[in-house]
Amino acid sequence: MRNIIELLGIILPALIILLGIVRVFVKKTKGINGFTMLFAILLLIIGLLQFFVFKNNSSGKDEPKPPPLAVSKHSEAFNKSIENVLSSYIRVTDAFVNNDIAAIQQNTTELRTSLDSLRINELAADSLIYLTALQPYENAKTEAESIINASTLDQKRAALNSCSNEFYTLLRTARYDLAKIYWKECAFAFGEGQPGNWLSKTEETLNPYGKENCAEIRSTINFMPADSTN
């Protein structure tokens, strides 16, 4: 609509000028008086400047505003606590990749502490989600303790698999929405037909179950707001 008005500001004065010229030189009759002609010329100049000069200088003002940043549906406190859990968990899987038992013990202890500090009660706003999340939450804490108490690396890996499954269920139930999480699988982590799973923030990760070239993305957790996704 604005462009049409600006074009009319050029066309109408131009028509007045053209009419005046036609009446004088073609029909050889008295044309539009000098004041009107001068006024029309001024309007034409202003219209041209407005359309071709000032429009370019102010083009940014008419551009649509960018959409607001997508906001997580969870509170900042809950998001911080779940990020602490996820960061601790990733450090645990990294320690398993390196077969570093001391690091496994330390990082799993931190995972257990971060799970204890998870603001799980904030999910109580939706009683169904809260009650559904409680079981995998408690199971994840139990399996983290099992990793710490297991006597061999193989036993610790079995406990990691169980812990990963519970944490995966917890994140899906709570509808974690800060990033895309990949659910990875090694189809023969514990022997033929006995898979092992783990969570990762990246598509490419090493296998924490001691197997090379055995990592497949089975699914993803992606509840990110639409404006945050690529």
**pTM across the whole model:** 0.69
41 and 138 both lie in a single domain: no
149 and 89 both lie in a single domain: yes
Domain that holds residue 38: 2-62
The two three-digit tokens of residue 118, written as one number: 């998870």
- Of 17, 38, 62, the residue that ends a domain is 62
What is the rounded radius of gyration, in angstroms, for the C-alpha atoms of the chain?
34
92 and 201 both lie in a single domain: yes
Amino acid letter for position 48: L
125 and 218 both lie in a single domain: yes
Question: Using one digit for the tens of pLDDT, what is the confidence trace for 81-107?
Answer: 999 999 999 999 999 999 999 999 999
Confidence of residue 61 (pLDDT cuts 50, 70, 90): very low
51 and 146 both lie in a single domain: no
114 and 56 both lie in a single domain: no
Mean of the per-residue pLDDT values for the chain? 83
Query: Stretch 168-174: mean pLDDT, rounded?
Result: 97
113 and 148 both lie in a single domain: yes
Query: Stretch 172-188: mean pLDDT, rounded?
Result: 96
pLDDT of residue 6: 60
> How far apart (Å, rounded) are the C-alpha atoms in residues 73 and 52?
46
Is pLDDT at 203 greater than 60 in this prediction?
yes
pLDDT of residue 218: 96
Alpha helices (H) along the chain: 2-21, 34-49, 55-57, 76-97, 101-116, 127-149, 153-174
Of 23-27, 45-49, 215-219, highest mean pLDDT: 215-219
Contact 137, 69 (CB under 8 A): no
Confidence of residue 77 (pLDDT cuts 50, 70, 90): very high
In-domain check, residue 70: no
81 and 124 both lie in a single domain: yes
In-domain check, residue 93: yes
Query: Stretch 165-194: mean pLDDT, rounded?
Result: 96
Say which CATH number the domain at 106 has.
1.20.120
Is pLDDT at 193 greater than 50 in this prediction?
yes
Is the Cα torsion angle 3, 9, 14, 20 positive or negative in sign? positive
40 and 116 both lie in a single domain: no
Percentage of the chain with pLDDT > 90? Answer: 63
For residues 10 and 210, which has the higher predicted lDDT (pLDDT)? 210
158 and 83 both lie in a single domain: yes
In-domain check, residue 67: no
Domains in the chain: how many in total? 2
Task: For the chain, give the number of residues.
Answer: 230
Question: Using one digit for the tens of pLDDT, what is the confidence trace for 123-154?
Answer: 999 999 999 999 999 999 999 999 999 999 99
92 and 57 both lie in a single domain: no
